[in-house]
Chains A and B, each alone.
Chain A
Amino acid sequence: KAGVTQTPRYLIKTRGQQVTLSCSPISGHRSVSWYQQTPGQGLQFLFEYFSETQRNKGNFPGRFSGRQFSNSRSEMNVSTLELGDSALYLCASSELSGYQNTEAFFGQGTRLTVV
């Protein structure tokens, strides 16, 4: 089975721009969760999608949004980029929704740099 695939791996954007990141989960997995990883804040939960519905949301501003398609692929969008949005964005794939206590597998991440 192929693992979790995130594209692109690296991205450089300018302040004020918007960006879309993509995550393809493991085949058969219906849950995709997104995390922001920074050296100072660790792994911060952004949101989880399951069967095209957002199930949980972290404490991030509305500039961060996401969606999930019928094939379980998910996209995350960040609008009006700020320097502080520079981070590694990780997605995790699970067979079931988060509260059902199943294993989560991570992709390699997308390294976003805002200049």
Chain B
Amino acid sequence: GENVEQHPSTLSVQEGDSAVIKCTYSDSASNYFPWYKQELGKGPQLIIDIRSNVGEKKDQRIAVTLNKTAKHFSLHITETQPEDSAVYFCAARGKLSFGAGTTVTVRA
């Protein structure tokens, strides 16, 4: 089955700086890669996704890049704000396998 590895497990950044989270996957048949943000006491919320036919996708301060050859994809958050503090999960679609999560803390 699909194995998704996510790094780092925790990330602390100064407000206004950028945050980058990286994931690798094992199943070369995976074609869809969503990212989820989970705030305390809530279910994961889909924030951005990318399909294998594109290398990069951007939505305001959030961007995702995909390298299918290397089987890795990354989430980039620019100009971080305190409300970006949450746990972020990457996933690879087949049966939607998740990375272990990254706890992001944005220091004011």
Query: A residues near B, CB below 8 A?
Result: 4, 6, 33, 35, 42-43, 45, 48, 56, 58, 90, 92, 98-99, 101-109
Contact = CB atoms under 8 A, between A and B. Distances in A.
A88 to B, nearest CB: 8
B31 interface: yes
Interface of B: 31-32, 34, 36, 42-46, 49, 51, 89, 93-101
A60 to B, nearest CB: 13
Given A101-B31, A103-B46, A103-B49, A42 B95 contact: no
Contact of B96 (A4, A104, A109): A104
Contacts of A92: 96
A42 B96 contact: no
A106 B44 contact: yes
A57 to B, nearest CB: 9
B96 A33 contact: yes
Contact of A104 (B31, B34, B42): B34
Contacts of A98: 93-96
